[in-house]
Amino acid sequence: MSGERETQLVLAADAGDLTHRVARPAGPGPHPTALMLHGRSGDENVMWVFARALPADWLIVAPRAIQPDPAGGFAWHPRKPDEWPPLSFFSEAASAIVRFVHTLPGRYGADVTRLFVMGFSQGAAAAFAVALRHPGLVHGIAALVGFMPGGVADELSAPLAGLPVFMAVGRRDPLIPLTQAHACAAILRTLGAELAYHEYDSGHKLDARGMRDLQAWWRDRAGS
């Protein structure tokens, strides 16, 4: 697992690109790749606290979400309070993320056959949207105090079969209630995911025990 990473800020080259921060491993690649998706009101800088959980020889890329958020920062979808947006609301975000992913082999030597996504809060919902709308592209998801887009179980049948998912839940999370987290876990199992579900006595964050569990999950991904 990595310590502090040297990162580079890369501004969007055109309207279809995403501003992002990247940490590049040594060598030309192809590199296993971790895409880190921030939550609402975040940006390309806020996910790097979790980068130390990732394998040291992986490419890590953290894009900025697609639109400004009214509360500041950026969002994948401008969620309203108490709204659990359906999968269709993340279509624009999922398309933008997939277009961006397909630029990574040429830019950084990414191996998109070994693409994993780590999302925090709304970033986890965006990660699930990508996996659901583009089956086979994502090979594992770490969902940190996040949620599943609404209505998924009604329109899809086991599209996440065999997908490793790490789900971290805060029992005292004021933004993602425990009942909502339990419902998301049930949907993931219905959709066929290989779910590693973890609850912590925390709020809308990952505590020290959660970070250790996350590191262990990433070690398993690196060894698989």
Whole-number Å distance between alpha carbons of 122 and 101: 19
pLDDT level of residue 224 (50, 70, 90 thresholds) = confident
CATH of domain 13-223: 3.40.50.1820
| Residue 59 predicted with pLDDT over 90 | yes
Indicate the domain borders of the chain: 13-223
| Residue 2 predicted with pLDDT over 70 | no
The torsion of the CA quartet 16, 22, 26, 29, rounded to 10 degrees, works out to: -30
* % the chain with pLDDT above 90: 80
User: pTM of the prediction?
Assistant: 0.94
Q: 91-101 vs 122-133: helix axis angle to the nearest 10?
A: 70
pLDDT at residue 8 in the model: 94
**Other Cβ atoms closer than 10 A to 45:** 14
